[in-house]
């Protein structure tokens, strides 16, 4: 199957005709071929987005809300098809893909409402013959660069509020998972979103990113992906003083205090760690368990991991799919090997799972005990199904360990002591804290990190600040 890019309402290939393959990570089958676009195609998409913006910014909030609502309704109508497409290109189990489509739709639903709440203000002036009026206006053309781990939701989380604010967009999806983006583009056209408002370019990340960060008609870049690429984009954007939102890497601590509800903590740990085969920016990376409950926790986790089924995400009952590509599985292997060499014990898993007829990209859900601070699992994002445990003695010590990371996206802890709950939550240097909660992601909250995990917030009313800018009118009367 050959699919095309969306530029100015038209489905087009790369000028050169070149394409690249999208591979099903579970089976190695070629799912589709997509255009290998570059700077020329991206420049055309930016022109289309800019021309469209001149009209789109003048539409009413109700018009924009109604189009976003239509797009959401079409995603709901096609949820099963979109979920299957996602599993084919990304590998996550079908149930998770269905969950992601619902999550993706929730961002559109919310944005359609926010479109109607973009208010200005009138500020009392210091002179009797003046009035100060504050307007909130769309920033303009937005570049949206999204990752492969959530091929739909990371787009709608940006696209919904951008459209609601009156911005137009050029989307560059990840090379591994462009098909979910293209399917969204088809639905955007079907919903009646005007040509040029939503554009999608696939292909060479350097060339596309280079153009998006240097063309002065682009006024905003929202990026979700690695800290390394985020830094590069930020450097490239500096000449243009581009407004940026950066949702970057994480390295979440998951702390279990001696007074935790152990069954709740273990259940949350499983969901938080093994969702999407451990390939999320907010998944638990470092489990710190109080020494008095260490044996209990490790035994609960070992048993729960034993119930996970690894395999092709289209198969009923599979909970853990493949890793996205060969590089990803090699990285997971190297983290486990490094932990072993430095003295950790691998209690469960610790090797690839080879399944007849499938690709060699499945890694066994793994539990490592005896993690120490010098291990790679302790400070680098593993992005795989590996849970590593370290015991602690005091609250003081564990909060210090938790904050010792360069990252600051999500942190989790479990306690039944209300004073400790507030004390620890306040001291954790993270943008998102799950207190007795392993799944804090939700549409109404300000998702985002601090330190090397980036800046900017996505979700709820907060995201509207990212796509709007203030202007005031000093009005002499």
282 binds ligand SIN (CB under 6 A): yes
Given candidates 4, 237, 280, 453, which one binds ligand SIN under the rule CB under 6 A?
A: 280
* Catalytic-residue membership of 63: no
445 half-sphere exposure, CB direction, 13 A CA radius = 12
Site for ligand SIN in 146-165 (CB under 6 A): 149-150
Q: Which of 142, 167, 272, 281 is catalytic?
A: 281
The tokens describing 282, both together, are 């907010």
Residue with the two structure tokens 């994480």:
250
Contact 150, 198 (CB under 8 A): no
By C-beta, is 4 or 90 nearer to ligand SIN?
90
Q: Which of 193, 197, 281, 339 is in the footprint of ligand SIN by CB under 6 A?
A: 281
Catalytic-role residue among 89, 247, 380, 466: 247
Q: From the CB of residue 206, how many other CB atoms can be counted at a distance below 10 Å? A: 12
Of 155 and 200, nearer to ligand SIN (C-beta) is: 155
Distance (Å, whole) CA 308 – CA 353: 12
Please tell me what DSSP assigns to residue 374: T
CA dihedral (394, 305, 177, 383) positive or negative: positive
Exposure string over 209-224, b if 16+ CB within 10 A, otherwise e: bbbbbebeebbbbbbb
Find, among 360, 351, 419, the residue nearest to 386 by Cα.
Answer: 351
Phi, psi for residue 324 in degrees, rounded to 5: -65, -35
Please check whether residue 133 is in contact with residue 473, taking contact to mean a CB–CB distance below 8 angstroms.
Answer: yes
Q: Smallest gap, in angstroms, from Cβ of residue 134 to ligand SIN?
A: 32
The contact pattern for ligand SIN, residues 402-441, with x = CB under 6 A and - = no contact, is ---------------------------------------x
Q: How far is the CB of 125 from ligand SIN (least distance, A)?
A: 43
Stretch 332-371 residues interacting with ligand SIN (CB under 6 A): none
245 binding ligand SIN? (CB under 6 A): no
Residue 29 catalytic?
A: no
Stretch that binds ligand SIN, among 67-75, 191-199, 278-286, 416-424 (CB under 6 A): 278-286
Nearer to ligand SIN, 234 or 409 (CB): 409
User: Which residues are identified as catalytic?
Assistant: 247, 281
Q: Which residues bind ligand SIN (CB under 6 A)?
A: 149-150, 280-282, 441
């Amino acid at each position: 199957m050959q699919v095309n890019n969306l530029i100015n309402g038209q489905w087009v290939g790369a000028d050169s005709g070149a394409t690249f393959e999208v591979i099903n990570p579970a089976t190695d089958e070629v799912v589709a071929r997509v255009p290998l676009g570059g700077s020329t195609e991206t420049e055309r998409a930016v022109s289309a987005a800019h021309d469209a913006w001149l009209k789109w910014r003048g539409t009413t909030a109700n018009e924009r809300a109604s189009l976003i609502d239509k797009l959401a309704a079409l995603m709901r109508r096609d949820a099963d098809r979109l979920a299957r497409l996602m599993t084919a290109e990304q590998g996550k189990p079908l149930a998770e893909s269905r969950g992601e489509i619902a999550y993706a739709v929730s961002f559109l639903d919310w944005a359609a409402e926010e479109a109607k709440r973009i208010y200005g203000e009138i500020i009392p002036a210091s002179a009797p013959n003046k009035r100060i009026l504050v307007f909130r206006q769309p920033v303009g053309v937005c570049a949206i660069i999204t990752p492969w781990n959530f091929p739909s939701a990371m787009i709608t989380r940006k696209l919904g509020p951008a459209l609601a604010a009156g911005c137009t967009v050029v989307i560059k999806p990840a090379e591994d998972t462009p098909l979910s983006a293209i399917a969204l583009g088809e639905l955007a056209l079907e919903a009646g979103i005007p040509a040029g408002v939503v554009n999608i370019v696939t292909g060479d990340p350097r060339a596309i990113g280079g153009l998006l960060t240097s063309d002065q008609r682009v006024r905003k870049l929202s990026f979700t992906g690695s800290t390394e690429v985020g830094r590069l984009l930020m450097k490239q954007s500096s000449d243009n003083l581009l407004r940026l939102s950066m949702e970057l890497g994480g390295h979440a601590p998951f702390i279990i205090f001696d007074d935790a509800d152990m069954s709740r903590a273990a259940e949350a740990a499983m969901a938080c760690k093994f969702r999407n085969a451990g390939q999320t920016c907010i998944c638990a990376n470092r489990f710190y368990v109080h020494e008095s409950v260490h044996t209990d926790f490790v035994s609960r986790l070992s048993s729960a991991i034993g119930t996970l089924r690894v395999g092709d995400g289209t198969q009923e009952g599979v909970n853990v799919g493949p890793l996205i590509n060969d590089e990803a599985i090699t990285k997971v292997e190297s983290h486990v090997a490094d932990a072993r060499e430095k003295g950790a014990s691998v209690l469960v898993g610790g090797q690839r799972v080879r399944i007849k007829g499938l690709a060699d990209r499945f890694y066994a859900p793994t539990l490592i005990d005896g993690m120490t601070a010098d291990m790679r699992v302790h400070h680098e994002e593993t992005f795989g199904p590996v849970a590593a445990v370290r015991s602690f003695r005091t609250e003081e010590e564990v909060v210090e360990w938790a904050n010792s990371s360069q990252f600051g996206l999500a942190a989790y802890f479990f306690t039944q002591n209300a004073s400790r709950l507030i004390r620890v939550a306040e001291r954790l240097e993270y943008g998102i804290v799950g207190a007795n909660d392993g799944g804090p992601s939700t549409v109404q909250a300000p998702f985002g990190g601090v330190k090397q995990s980036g800046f900017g917030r996505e979700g709820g009313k907060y995201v509207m600040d990212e796509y709007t800018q203030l202007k005031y009118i000093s009005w002499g009367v």
